[in-house]
Amino acid sequence: MMEHPLTNRTDYETDRLKPASLSCHGNPKGSIDITGGKREGGKLGQLAGAMSFVIYTE
């Protein structure tokens, strides 16, 4: 029986700031949020990050 190598497909999904994110990541930049961290001054819809994932198939 012959073995076949796995093939893969890599996809990416972006994450943008949503209204609920702004209480910790929004304005005013540098002010302290509810967790004690500093706010980054982000704006609604701004790119916040990205995830990559690989789907392996036979």
Domain assignment present for residue 50? The answer is yes
Tell me which DSSP letter residue 25 carries.
H
Is there a domain that residue 48 lies in?
yes
Asked whether residue 1 is assigned to any structural domain, the reply reads: no
Task: Name the residue range of residue 51's domain.
Answer: 7-57
pLDDT tens-digit readout, 1-58: 555 566 788 899 999 999 999 999 999 999 999 999 999 999 999 999 999 988 887 7
Let me know if residue 52 belongs to a domain.
yes
Q: pTM, whole model, 2 decimals? A: 0.65
Tally of domains within the chain: 1
The whole-angstrom separation of Cα 34 and Cα 24 is 7
Q: Decide if 37 is inside a domain.
A: yes
C-alpha span between 2 and 56 (Å, rounded): 19
